[in-house]
Amino acid sequence: MGEVLIAIILTAIVGMLVFIWGIRKEQTLPETLTQQLMAKSRAVLIGKLRKQGEATFEEMGTWLDGLVVGPLWSSRRLKVRDPEKFLEALIPVLVEQGDIEEIRREGRRFYRLKNRK
């Protein structure tokens, strides 16, 4: 009788801990999704620039259009729906970090990897 009661209490405690952990994960999900989208976008841009050398703002927008991220444990996803607006926020970060550089030529903006000369 005592063992059954202890098992029930321990199961309830474990259930509460899992529930609290899930609530915490759900609360931090928007920040996690934003970080994942920025990291994945950075990886896509750097990978394409390695292959292509340089690209315009418009070309980079087509690379990121429809990009989706999300954790395996949640059905919530974050998708790039307006690549131009997203790039306006992402490119200054990449330039500041020293990943890419902006070149103005013929009245247009081109971007290339910073270490590529």
Closest CA to 40 of 6, 66, 14, 59: 66
- pLDDT interval class at 28 (50, 70, 90): confident
**pTM for the model:** 0.75
Instruction: Please check whether residue 64 is in contact with residue 45, taking contact to mean a CB–CB distance below 8 angstroms.
Output: yes
Share of the chain above pLDDT 70, in %: 98
Domains of the chain in start order, with CATH, are: 29-113 (1.10.10)
Is residue 73 very low, low, confident or very high in pLDDT (cuts 50, 70, 90)? confident
CA gap 117, 109 in Å, rounded = 17
Q: Quote the tokens at residue 65.
A: 């259009």
